[in-house]
Amino acid sequence: MNRIRCLVFNAALGPLDYRVPEGIDVEPGSVVVVPLGPRQIIGVVWEAERLPATEVPAHKLRPILQVLPVPPLPTPLRRMIEWCADYYVAPLAAVARMALSSNAALQGGGKVTEYRLTGRENGRMTPQRIQALDLLNGQQGTIRELGEVAGVSEAVLRGMVQHDLLESVQVDSDRPYPEPDPHFVEHALAGAQQIAADRMVDAVLARRFQPFLLDGVTGSGKTETYFEAVAAALESGGQVLVLLPEIALTQSFLKRFESRFGTEPVTWHSSLKSSERRRAWRQVAWGKAKVVVGARSALFLPFPKLGLIVVDEAHEISFKQDDGVRYNARDVAVMRGHFENVPVVLASATPALESLQMAESGRYERLILPDRFGGASLPEIQIVDLREQQPERGHWIAPPLVTALKERLQKGEQSLLFLNRRGYAPLTLCRHCGFRFQCPNCSAWLVEHRLSRRLACHHCGHEVATPERCPECGEPDCLVACGPGVERIAEEVAQIMPEARVALVTSDTLTSPAKAAEFVEMAANKAIDVIVGTQLVTKGYHFPDLTLVGVIDADMGLEGGDLRAAERTYQQIAQVAGRAGRAEKPGEVLIQTRHPEAAVIAALASGDRDAFYAAETEARREAGAPPFGRWAAIIVSSEDEAEAKEAARAIGGTRPNLPDVMILGPAPAPLSLLRGRHRYRLLVNARRTSEVQRVIREWLDQLRFPPGVRVAVDIDPYSFV
Ligand SMILES: [Zn+2]
Ligand SMILES: [Zn+2]
């Protein structure tokens, strides 16, 4: 082959053809450096017949410059990239780029110089050096990485090298990871677990595509069960990918994995240092990293020998990416399994309705684990009707929950209070003039964070110090907090039970895997009496002495027009309830609500999951909503409000008129201003069978927009803001 077609990473360009000079070997999937005008850019060689482009005469072709020292992207991965681009109406290059997620890895292996503390203390101890000595304990990395960890400049660290406080170490960036041992410690499985494990193991050994829905109540031992399939894949020489929704909180998973397989798996997530990224990417690409546990982006790693994919907590909405290429990792995982011809396990105690429907229709095989493992029973659930059992004025914990909390404290057992709202209060206003603190970049209120004394926007990250005076009327000490956040609930617990040891668990407090590990250890060692947390505490944790769960506001998730609101509320509360009574001691759950009659609350109270799903399924069928119909959103945005409105109007004005496609809008988005951009939305509702992607692509392709306008397509949207 001396003429190749190349997918280049430049949004404005289509595929380009190049000439391959004598003596250079390339094949589809090869990662190459090619000239583009005076510049050099990276591209991937692609099958020309799958990638139409304008033919360039042979004498005009420029030669490729270099083949990068990495294996070609495997064929099944390339097919998945094509599928993603097509299904999610995204540029092929943007999807392919997600597979080349470490620039350093593409440049090859070799030695890297890293630094670590020498343990000596020489020279002048400036405050920065003291800070670095403290924060770099146990760390090793390049100067740049250590600078980020320690929060000091690179010059400070270079000074520390000169004064013998830091020493250099030569590290091979291609050093292999320890290999997990499928026979390290084999666990005995209970009846239903064994049956489920056997089905998955069979599919792994047969190397056939088979999606499984591993459906088991919280505490039923889903992880141990799918570990058998992981062991089978390892034994037959395959690689395994496990996706988890919150990678910062995988400490307990890593420990369980280590105790079963003798070593931790390779991790992949956005906060890896670039040297760790390079090592992981390269080891995956050569088939040497055997088990990778990662966030959704791990789906695009170039595994050459994938034998199994597991999506744990598969119902979680964090598998949905809401910027750039808007994809749902749960669905893409199934497609990767399809192209790789390997089984895919979706594990959950509260499966997404879409997944249940696939099981119902026979496309997924449903494996049910009906009981809690080790004889623990499911917790008893009680409803606290807030209209009758009112909390004290300015408080949020109703009398029955107060009583239950006090009982647990006396018995030395643990409680967990759940409220899915970070910070102290969701709205702050001036008592004197009524001024409300709003984000300048978004149509959203600023949330008070009392611990860090700041007002913050949870959409764009804008922050200001909490002012002493009202910025509008100048009155001092006049700010009123409205409504509760977890910080305020923690404060209330401290008032009710001053002797209780309270831990606050949110993304503001568990900012690193180390902090998460510290929390888990304290809770396991009974150094905490009451945990107050957001959705971070709803999954994965297993604390034997936790016997009470209190849901502060079960109605919160039902507000707003999200089509999955009821399902999400059900999942969240069922998951957090599942934290109670996971060992011998029985658990109790109190759910505070103003709407005990709502179907979702009634289903939680009676523990009748099937009834809830049946009712919800009917409602969706009626509304033509997923999984019975299709939704797609078109989001138009610009920093200039008139420009955004004009573009939205142009899209609305050229809407296709089709019998099975309904198009709503354009209308200002509920968050009409986000990160400084004005936003309009259109919603497309179509029949299951219609080719909604093709309709949208053809519709938008005929329009041209000013450079400041962004038009994003969201297929199967989760967020309706
Ligand atoms: Zn004021
Ligand atoms: Zn904002």
- What digits encode the pLDDT tens for the residues 217-259? 877 889 999 999 999 999 999 999 999 987 656 777 888 999 9
527 token code pair: 């150094």
d(CA 26, CA 44): 10
Q: How many A from CA of 185 to the centre of ligand 2?
A: 49
d(CA 425, CA 325): 33
**pLDDT value, residue 1:** 54
Containing H/E element for 117? strand 111-117
| 672 Cα distance to chain centroid | 24
- Residues 470, 483: contact at Cβ < 8 Å? no
**pLDDT value, residue 560:** 65
- Residues 459, 674: contact at Cβ < 8 Å? yes
Which residues, at least 6 apart from 434, have a Cβ–Cβ distance to it below 8 Å?
A: none
- What does each C-alpha distance from 152 to 127, 133, 144, 607 come to in angstroms? 10, 11, 10, 53
180 token code pair: 């997990």
- Residues 211, 346: contact at Cβ < 8 Å? yes
**pLDDT value, residue 337:** 98
**Nearest ligand (C-alpha, residue 447):** 2
60 token code pair: 């005009």
616 token code pair: 């919800």
**pLDDT value, residue 376:** 67
Q: How many A from CA of 436 to the centre of ligand 1?
A: 8
**Nearest ligand (C-alpha, residue 439):** 2
568 token code pair: 């999400």
- Residues 660, 687: contact at Cβ < 8 Å? yes
Where the chain has pLDDT below 50, the residues are none
**Nearest ligand (C-alpha, residue 446):** 2
| Nearby residues for ligand 2 (ion, Cβ within 5 Å) | 439, 441-442, 457, 459-460, 462
For residue 16, the tally of other CB atoms under 10 A from its CB is 21
Q: How many A from CA of 474 to the centre of ligand 1?
A: 6
Q: How many A from CA of 482 to the centre of ligand 2?
A: 19
Crossing angle of helices 329-340/75-87, nearest 10°? 140
Q: How many A from CA of 552 to the centre of ligand 1?
A: 30
**pLDDT value, residue 516:** 82
For residue 363, the one-letter residue type is R
Containing H/E element for 603? helix 599-606
203 token code pair: 């599919």
d(CA 365, CA 555): 34
- Residues 54, 64: contact at Cβ < 8 Å? no
Q: How many A from CA of 532 to the centre of ligand 2?
A: 25
**pLDDT value, residue 110:** 80
509 token code pair: 């407090």
| 651 Cα distance to chain centroid | 31
- Residues 448, 423: contact at Cβ < 8 Å? yes
**Nearest ligand (C-alpha, residue 444):** 2
pTM of the complete model:
0.89
- Residues 549, 329: contact at Cβ < 8 Å? no
Q: How many A from CA of 462 to the centre of ligand 2?
A: 5
- Residues 415, 546: contact at Cβ < 8 Å? yes
Q: How many A from CA of 320 to the centre of ligand 1?
A: 40
Q: In the chain, helix, strand, coil percent, each to 5?
A: 35, 25, 40
495 in helix, strand or coil?
Answer: helix
Q: How many A from CA of 445 to the centre of ligand 2?
A: 8
Q: How many A from CA of 631 to the centre of ligand 2?
A: 27
312 token code pair: 């744990």
**pLDDT value, residue 561:** 64
- Residues 83, 92: contact at Cβ < 8 Å? no
Q: How many A from CA of 481 to the centre of ligand 1?
A: 13
**Nearest ligand (C-alpha, residue 675):** 2
